[in-house]
Chains A and B, each alone.
Chain A
Amino acid sequence: MKLAVKDAMRCVGCQSCMFACSRRSGNAGLANTCIGVKSAGGISKGYNVIVCRSCENPPCAAVCPTGALTPKEGGGVRLKSSKCIGCGLCKDACVIGAVFWNDKDNKPAICIQCGICANYCPYDVLELQKDKKGVSHDAE
C-alpha cells in the first residue's frame, strides 16, 4: 500500500492528519509526525500536503552513511533507529521535505505507509492506494 495525496485543493489545513500520525506513539502533540501540511505561500493560496512518496530508489537511503535507512521492496524505506547517528543527510536528500525530524530523539521520523493520517482526514485529501504489486508493506 502506498500513501498518496488525492486532492490537496480540498485540504483545509486542520492538520488532523499530522496529529493522527504523531499519536501513533500513544502521546499527544506533534513530535513524531511524518506528514506535513503547510500553506502554499500564505493560507489564501491553499496548502501543500507533504507525504513520503515511497520512492523505489530512495535518495534518503542512498545518502545514509550508516545503513540505518534501507530501501523496502516495492518502495519506501525502513529505519533502524539503533544504527542512526542523527546526521540529517536523509532529511536534506529528500527534495520534497518528506523526511521529518524528531528533535528530541534527534532522528528522522519516517513514514511507514500505514494510512492512519488518511483515516483522520475528513475532507478526502489523502488515500492509501494499492501499489502495482498490491504489496502491503510491513509497519515497523
Chain B
Amino acid sequence: MMPNDTLSKVLYIDLTKKKFEVKYRRDLFEKYLGGTGVATQLLLEECPEGIDAFAPESPIIFAVGPLTGAFPLASKTCAMFKSPHTGDIGESHAGGRSAIAIRMAGYGAIVIKGKSEIPVYLSITKGKVEFKNATTLWGMKDGSIAARVMRQNEGGEGLRAIFRIGMAGENMSTFANVTTETYRHFGRLGLGAIFGSKFLKGIVISGKQAIEVTNKKEYKNLYDEIYNTATESPVMKKYHDVGTAINIKSLNSMKALPVKNLQKSSIEEIKHVTGEDIAKNHLARRIGCAHCPVACIHLAYLREPYEDDPYFFKTTPVCYDFELIYSLGTMVGITEAKPLLKLIDIVEQVGVDAMSMGVILSWITEMYERKNITLEDLNGISVNWGDEDAYIKLVKNIAKPNTDFLKACAKGVSYASSKYGGKEFAMSFGKNEMAGYHTGPAGYLGFLLGARHSHLDNGGYSVDQKELVNTELTPQTVVDKLLDEEAIRQILSSIAVCFFARGIYNLELVSKAIKLLGFEYDEKQLHEIGRQIHLNKYKFKMREGFRIEKLEVPERIYETEDPTGKITKEFIKTGLDYAQNLIN
C-alpha cells in the first residue's frame, strides 16, 4: 500500500474508559486488503473465545477498503462482531455514506469495546472521538428521531455518516440492526443489539482528505472505464430503474417466492406488490450511496389521511427492496402495497432486520393458526395472514416484549421454535432467518454453508436459476461452486465494493485497481487471499462452536414446490457431508 495511506490507521475506542487510540496496522491491510479480510482478523484478535456476545469485551469492528473513496461502487463498510443471533460470526455490510465517511475521516478500521455506564453517541471527526451523552435519546419509539438530533448537533454536512439503533437494539433483540443514512442498514445478525448492550446509541463520523495514487494518468483512465461501465451497463440500469424489486414478478412466476411461511412458492394476487406496480403507483425518488452513480435505493411515499382531519395527510417516505416485499409482504400474506409500506415503516422505526422479522411474523401466524400458541402468548394480539394491523402491533411488541413467548421471538425463530415447537416450519438456516429464495437446493446449501448464513455469501440461488433448473449437477459440484464463489466474494467485500458491482469488478480489474493504491497482487494471488479470508471466518466459527453436522433444516423446504424440483433430503445431506469433509 502507499506509504502515507491512512487506510492503515485503526481507531480503537474504549466505551468503559471513554478513551481512544490509533494504531498503525499496515500488517493487516497489506495481507488482507481491508473490509472483511481485515475485520475478520481483528475479530480473531479482539474477541475472546467463547465470550457472551453482550459482554463488554465483545468487540464491534468496522472496516473499509483500499478502493473506498478512490473508485465508484466501493461504497460498503464491513461490520464484524460475534453475533448474538447465531453465536458465531456476525458480519453485515452497509452502504450509505458509511464507508466514505470512515475513509475520509482518516481510518481503515474502527474497533469499539467496553460498555458505557450511560447511553452515549460517538462523534468522530478531525482525529478526535467525543463521547456525547445520549440519555435523552434512549427509549424513543422511532429511531429516526435520534438520528435527526445527531444530525442537528454535529457538523460535517454532506461528508458524514450517522449510525444509530432503535428500540429493538436498546432492548437487545438479537436481530436488531444499525441504520445508517436513514435507509441503509447493517441489517443481519444483530449488530444493533451489541450497540444496545454497550449503551451505544449511535455514531457520527465525518472527514475530507486526499488519497494518493501511484499513477495519476492511469488512475483517471481506469476510473473512467469503471464509471462508464457502471453508468451504461444494463445490469446496473436494472438496479436503478425498478430496482431489486423487479425480481418479485419473476421469482413468483417460477415458483421460487416464499408465500405464507413457505406454505406456497407463488401467489396469484401478486400484482400490487411487484416492483413495477409499486414504482408506478408509489415510487417518489431514488437515491444512491456515496460514490455510487447507480442509485438503487427506492423510496416510496406512503400517503395516509388522518381520520379526524380529512384534508391532512401523513406522508411517510418508505424505502423498499426485493427482500422487504418478500419478508414483510408475501411471506406474511400481504399483497397490497399500502399495508406493506406501513409494515416496512414500523420495522424501520424499531430497528430490526426486515428479513428476520418477516420470517418470525410468518412463523407466529402459522403457530397461532395451528393453535400451538395462545392469545395470551401474543399479548392479546390475534393474528391472521395478511393482517397488517396485527403485524404492526406484533413488531412493536417483539421490539419491546412483555410475554415469555414474545421475548423468545425477540431472539429469533430458531430460538423461539426450540422453546415452543414448530421447528419443521421455522424458516431459518444456521439460526439466521431465510432470504426470499426458494429457488432450489443450491440456494439452501448456500444459506447453510455461507459463513454468515446469508444468501449473499455465495449466491446459491443463482446456481439454481442459471444451472440446476435445466441441468444436472451433483451436490458435490454445487458445494464446490458455492465455496469458490464465496472465496471470490471475500475479495469484493475486502476492497470493499458493493456486491451489485460483482459483474464489473472481476479479479483482473480488482488487481489493476488496487495496484493504483499500491497493492501488487495478481488474480491468482487474490483468489488465494480470498480463500484464506474465508478460512479465517470458518476458524472463528469453529472456535465458537459451529459445526456443519449440527445444522438443522426445516422440513418445509422439501414439501413446497420449487423451480428445480430437486430439493431433496438426500441432495442437501450429501452436499453437507461433502462440505464437512472439506472444512474439517
Contact = CB atoms under 8 A, between A and B. Distances in A.
Interface of A: 9, 12-16, 19, 22-23, 25-33, 36-39, 42-44, 46, 103-104, 120, 122-123
Given A23-B219, A43-B181, A120-B293, 11 more contacts: A12-B285, A12-B287, A12-B295, A14-B292, A27-B216, A28-B211, A28-B213, A32-B210, A42-B148, A43-B183, A123-B295
A93 to B, nearest CB: 19
B209 A15 contact: no
Given A15-B290, A46-B285, A26 B213 contact: yes
B399 to A, nearest CB: 22
B72 A103 contact: no
Contact of A104 (B159, B181, B210): B210
Of A23, A27, A44, most B-chain CB atoms within 10 Å: A44
B212 to A, nearest CB: 5
Given A14-B289, A38-B158, A29 B211 contact: yes
Contact of B158 (A16, A37, A120): A37
13 contacts: A13-B287, A13-B290, A14-B293, A15-B291, A16-B72, A27-B211, A28-B210, A29-B69, A29-B70, A30-B159, A30-B209, A38-B158, A43-B183
A25 B219 CA distance: 11
A29 B210 contact: yes
Contacts, number: 100
Contacts of B204: none
A73 B25 CA distance: 51
Given A30-B69, A44-B182, A13 B208 contact: no
The 3 closest A-B pairs by CB, nearest first: A38-B158, A26-B216, A14-B288
Chain B contact-residue range equals 35 or more
B9 to A, nearest CB: 14
Interface string B198-221: 000000000011111100100110
Interface in B139-196: 148, 151, 157-159, 181-183
Contacts of B216: 26-27
A54 B294 CA distance: 30
Contact of B286 (A12, A22, A23, A26): A12
Contacts of B292: 14
Given A31-B208, A37-B158, A104-B209, A16 B317 contact: no
Contacts of B288: 12-14
A41 B70 CA distance: 27
A104 B292 CA distance: 26
A39 B288 CA distance: 12
A104 B208 CA distance: 9
B104 interface: yes
A123 to B, nearest CB: 8
Contacts of A29: 69-70, 103-104, 208-211
B453 to A, nearest CB: 30
A8 to B, nearest CB: 12
Nearest to B295: A12
B291 A16 contact: yes
B558 interface: no
B500 to A, nearest CB: 13
Contacts of B227: 16, 120
A29 B208 CA distance: 7
Contacts of B104: 29-30
A120 B288 CA distance: 14
Nearest to B67: A28
A117 to B, nearest CB: 13
A19 B291 contact: yes
B521 interface: no
B299 interface: yes
Nearest to A50: B158
Contact of A122 (B103, B157, B219, B231): B231
Nearest to A97: B157
A22 to B, nearest CB: 7
A19 B143 CA distance: 31
Contacts of B289: 14
B398 to A, nearest CB: 25
B158 A43 contact: no
Interface in B317-369: 317
Given A38-B158, A103-B208, A28 B70 contact: yes
